[in-house]
Structure formats: structure tokens, C-alpha cells
Chains A and B, each alone.
Chain A
């Protein structure tokens, strides 16, 4: 009885008095993580959630937080559902979160206009609105290290190199298998522009969200058109489904390339036939890095993580680690900039803009060689870093190329147009008033 009345009272109090759950303690930094361990995208979301959580938890365990301040890590389950994501945002908003990472383009879009109003920066790592790479227009949104346009230009460059020069693409056919949503459609303008310019033919194969596991129609069309290369922009069970179908329909795997979202599980599901599948990536795979060893020692071995041991160091797990690395670095920068220990969302936004992860810093963090250096600035919230191509050898990923620089000028042109377009359509989009910090 007392329990029930207590909980009822608490509920009423939370609803009326603002979400005053215990998190907002004064001597800690509140980092909410939007995760999805349920729903159709759980296959990708679980590993990312584990990676994000474990790295931050490791900082708590090993160093007692960042700068001596403990991090309060709280997961909010979104199920990749925009409705629940927005609900999560409202739920964490009252607890002074220093940053949010929605992990879904659908959730990111409604949050972008709110970020500036609520003073909560958004980290949409290599997804979300590509135009938000422009810090002068979107001061509160960050999408490092590369946009989808960067990714597309890198893939085309890679194909060009394989063919022996971009001009050799003339007359070729390039298929583009994508999730039929804003996420998958974003690179299309750039692809079509490049197609026109370089003289290859772009074929589009959209996959509807409800048909992610039922792609036989698309692959029939692939058999009809016989594209010389296939590029994939998928997420969740779409990736595994596509790889399986490619194997089934006998598409040459070494000509099947993807943006950075497939996982080991996806490739594994193709069996032996998936050998040769290629994807872009920008960070290391494996748990040999000192920081990941620390995670093993301080988090996984202590039973503080939900992950199983063999998943630590897998591609998407490390993707989550990279995401948390950026968060942690931004918080540390914010502490340096402001001199405060307990920082706020506004401080972390400044910390994000001054991120400068060079080789020395990465080494100090125990992540030497984990990823390329990256530096953000007030105008550049993305970095447009090169990524490398990796190939599935049947059991693991192997790096097969040097970092490929994106076609900077083209991406810039796309960005320019998109950002201008966004600001124009959203009449009254606020001008940037946030001051700019020098990198620390």
C-alpha cells in the first residue's frame, strides 16, 4: 500500500513538478544516451548502445568521471521510434543534459530547431541532417566526422581508383540500394550530379522500411540492370537482408560497397558468399587498444556492461565508443574552457567546437591509431574527415585502402545549397549569436 501510494505520489510529482528524478545532483554531469535495444533496428542499436555506455562507464570507474566529476549515464529506450525519441528528449530535458545523441535521423530532425532554444547540443554522429555540418547556421548541432555526401564521394572515388581513374567510369552503371527514407535518399543529388559529370549511369533501388527483409524485387531489378557496382545505404536488418540477397542472386561481392553502417552480424549472415563485401569506416576494429582494454578490465569484467565479451571491439561497438569519445572530449574541453567542473549544455557546445583530437591526444587517451585525427571549429561542425575502405574476409574486416579524401569542393557546394535552403525555408531561423572560442 505504502509502496503504491509512494510511487503514485512520485509520478504525480514528476509530471507536475518537472521531471525531477534523482539525476540532477549538483556534483555530477548528466549524460543521457538515446538507445534502441528493441524494435526492428535493435540489431544495430544494441552494440552501439553498449559501446557508448561502456566507454563512459569506464571513465567513471577508472578516472572517477571526467575532471573528477562523475558522469551520470542514463539510457532512454527509443526503439528507433520518433514518437518515443521525442518523449525521451522531453523526459531528459529537465535534468540538465549536457548533450543528446538521438541515433536516428527521424528523431534528430524534430530536435534540431529545439536545440538552440533549450541550449542542449545535439551530436548526430555521421547521420542526421548533413547541412548541420555548417556551424555558422547550426551552432547547436554536430555531425562529425563525415557527412553522407562525403561518404558518397569517397565511394565514387574508390570505385574510380579501382577502375583506373574517374574518367574510366564513363558508360558504367552504378546501382544505389537505399532505405526509402530521408536517410537513404540524402546522397542521391550528389550521386546524380557525379553521374552526369563523369558519364556513368546511376540506378536507384529503394527499399521500403517494411520490406527490409523482403528485398527479392530489388535484387531482381539488379539482375536485370547488371550494374557494374552496387552502393548500399542501409541500416538495421536492411543490411543483412541485402547481403543475403546479393549472395543469393550471385552479384559479385567485391563490387558491392556500402556506407559505414553494416555490422559483422550483417556480413556474417551472408555466409561464405559475403567474402569481398566492402564498406567505409573511419575507426579501428578490435579490442586491442589500451582504452578498450580498460573497458574490458573496469567495466565488462566487473559485470557493469550488458555486452558479451566477444562483442567488445566489434565494428558497431567501437562506433559507440567513438561517439562517447567525442562526448567525453567535449566535456573535458568545456571544463578547460570555463574552469568549471560541472559543465552545462552551453559549455559542452563550446567544448564540442574546440574538439581537436590529434594523434598525440588520441595516444594520451589510449586510442592510438584508433581513428584519424579530427578537429572541429565554429564554422565546421563536421570535419569532413577521410574514411578508409574495409573488406569482409569471411570472418573479420580488413582494411584495404588508405584513407580516402572526400571531394571537398563538391560536398561544400551541396552543403552550401542545403544550409541556405534550410534557413530560407525556415523563415526567421536565428542568426548565430554564440561566440567563438579559440581551440584549447
Chain B
């Protein structure tokens, strides 16, 4: 009843074309963003550090992969490695030039991963579908091997791992052990909001339309005058940029130090899950997917023991883990059967229904 299109008149083309056409949508978004910032002060350390920061990082990586797979139609299994490139580039940059703000380096590091992503995107001109997916696995394993084998990447650290030296923003530590979860969360949140905004404009513009044309049928797109090579490579570059930034955020603002192993193949699959479950070709779907795939297992870990306790079943930590796996697996299948187009589609249907509620005719 409160959510109505009626009565909102658009008098210019621009106002008719905006992302959020309804003032309720705009208000809703503002409330969500405000609440997200408010959580920084209300949430517990556990909520911020173990739930929200990783959620945002994964959402950003999922947006990156979604640009490539959902919008441009190129299946990639190298996400984890591209995230790694971002993290290692950021580490090299921030240790080589410690005077420049770390936020700058996090954003710049994405360009390195974009370059690497473009390189491994080259076969996409010739190879399609699952064949391409397996080809990107080459990137995954090769880059992972590089991370271990090139000690220069970690400044010849004996531990062979990335560590997070202290870096500040306006005198407040953002990277390093003394950075509070609040600061980290606010920084990650801001970056994710800005980058999501950029992505949403990108996919609505000329570039995004080119990607969609290529995805729907590349031969037809080519006949229409879209240059396949440039378009596909651009998709790889932009996608890897997002993944690279997400990787840098992951290591420096979430873990605060990590081994190469966090960029392994499972990470790539993990993010692909998020994209597909959330909805291919939908930015908000990336957030839903990240929430479902990352937060749900954590919730299950908390809920299951509580649910089972009244029946006198005390289950061990490992049984919970098994049940978590099974439930996540079952839910993936369930959601695919209920709505193969992902959670974003459910969200859209829900909004559509709400628009006409309570008189659906």
C-alpha cells in the first residue's frame, strides 16, 4: 500500500531512466545504507569482523565475477587467483611506497589484477562455455603456483605469507592489528558502495549493453559491429579489477595476513556459487548470493545446536560441520529448482507483487 508507482510522474527522460525510479526505492536504499553504517556502532565485534566484513568482501568479488559471467557470459573459474593478484600487488605497493595512503593502493592494485585477467582472457575469443571455464582453471593453478614460488611477491618473508603492516587513514589505523573492526567495516562498506555504484552505471551504459549483446549471442553481436575481442577482454579486465580489490580487502582488512592458500580453487568455486545462486546478471543478486552462501552456514552453526538441544541431542562440532555441508548442498538444489534465475529474481517478483498489493488485479 505504501509502495506505489501511482502518482509519481516523470517529466523528463532522465528521470524516467534513473536506476531507482520510485521514491520508495530511493528511500529504502537510503535507509539500508544508513543502517549499514549504523551497524558499525551497534554490532558486536563478531558481527562486524566475522560476518559483515567478509560478506561485503565476497559480495564485491561476486559482483566482479557477475560482470564477467552474468553480463558478458564468460564462465570463469579463476576468481580466487585474480583476487590473489590484487592482494599481492597491494602488498608490494604498500610496502614499497608506505607514504601513500593504503586506500589508494587497494584501488590501484585492482589494475594489476585487471592486466593479468586480460591476459588470461585472451583464449575467450576462441573458446566458449565449459571449455573456457577449464581454460581459466589454468590461470587459477598457474597463478597460485606463482604466489608460492616467487618470494619477491612477499618481500622475501621467511614465513612466505602476506602480513598486514600498520597503515592509517586520517591518523586512524585501518590496516594492521590495531585497526578496530569498526574502522575496517566502515572502510570496506564505503569502498563496496562506491564500487557497486560504479558497476551499476557501467552495466546500464554502452559497455554493459555490449556485454549483454555478446552474452546473448556473440555472433549476432559481432554482425552488429561490436568488436568481440575488445568487449570480452574489457569484461575480463573490469571483472578482475573488482576481484583484485576484493582480494586486497580480504587480506588486509579482513584476515590481516594470509597464506597463498586462501586464494585456492575452492575460493573460485565459492564465489561462482554466490553468483549463480544470487542471480546471473544482477548486482543485487551478488549481495544475496554472498549472504546465502557465506552467512547461512555461520547461522546454521549457531542455530543447529540450539535447535537440537531441546531434544537432548548434543552434537559435536564436526557433526554440525557435516550437517552444514548437507544443508547448504540441499538448499542450493532447492533454490535452483524453485527459482533457477536466482534470488535476485525472487526479489524482483516480490517487489512486483508488493507494487500491486493488496489488489493484484
Contact = CB atoms under 8 A, between A and B. Distances in A.
Interface of A: 3, 6-8, 10-11, 14-19, 35, 37-38, 74-77, 79, 82-83, 86-87, 90-91, 93-94, 105-106, 109-110, 112-114, 116-117, 129-131, 180-182, 185-186, 189, 206, 208-210, 306, 414, 417-418, 421-422, 425-429
B318 A16 contact: no
Given A15-B302, A87-B50, A91-B50, 13 more contacts: A10-B302, A15-B44, A19-B44, A35-B317, A75-B316, A79-B321, A83-B262, A90-B49, A91-B46, A94-B44, A106-B259, A106-B261, A182-B159
Nearest to B91: A425
B340 interface: no
Nearest to A36: B318
Contact of A109 (B163, B306, B316): B163
B44 A426 contact: no
* Residues of B in contact with A, size category: 35 or more
A428 B46 contact: no
B298 interface: yes
Contacts of B178: 117
Contacts of A83: 54, 262
B46 A37 contact: no
B54 to A, nearest CB: 8
A14 to B, nearest CB: 6
A17 B50 contact: no
A182 B147 CA distance: 11
B33 interface: no
Contacts of B49: 90
A276 B322 CA distance: 38
Majority SS of interface residues in chain A?
helix
A96 B43 CA distance: 18
B158 A131 contact: yes
B47 A15 contact: yes
Interface of B: 42-47, 49-51, 54, 95, 98, 145, 148, 155, 157-161, 163-166, 176-178, 254-262, 264-265, 298-299, 302-303, 306-307, 310, 316-318, 320-322
Contact of A94 (B45, B157, B259): B45
B259 A181 contact: yes
24 contacts: A3-B307, A7-B307, A15-B47, A37-B316, A37-B321, A38-B322, A90-B49, A91-B50, A106-B259, A106-B261, A109-B161, A109-B258, A110-B257, A112-B257, A113-B256, A181-B259, A181-B261, A182-B161, A186-B159, A418-B158, A422-B157, A422-B163, A425-B155, A428-B176
A180 B145 CA distance: 9
A37 B258 contact: no
B350 to A, nearest CB: 20
A77 B158 contact: no
Contacts of A206: 148
B307 A426 contact: no
Contacts of B44: 15-19, 94
Contacts of B159: 109, 129, 131, 182, 186, 418, 422
A31 B248 CA distance: 33
B306 A209 contact: no
B45 A428 contact: no
A90 B316 contact: no
Contacts of A91: 46, 50
Contacts of A209: 261, 264
Contact of A15 (B43, B262, B264): B43
A172 to B, nearest CB: 26
Contact of B177 (A75, A113, A418, A421): A113
B5 to A, nearest CB: 33
B232 to A, nearest CB: 29
Contacts of B322: 38
Contacts of B303: 7-8, 10-11
A427 B163 CA distance: 11
Nearest to B307: A7
B47 to A, nearest CB: 5
Contacts of B176: 113, 426, 428
B158 A16 contact: no
Contacts of B47: 15-16
Given A110-B258, A425-B157, A210 B265 contact: yes
The 4 closest A-B pairs by CB, nearest first: A113-B177, A90-B50, A37-B318, A182-B160
Contacts of A87: 50, 54, 298
B256 to A, nearest CB: 5
Contact of A428 (B155, B161, B166, B299): B166
Nearest to A417: B158
A288 B178 CA distance: 47
Contact of A38 (B158, B164, B257, B321): B321
Given A7-B303, A86-B50, A186 B158 contact: yes
Contact of B320 (A3, A77, A117, A210): A77
A422 B177 CA distance: 14
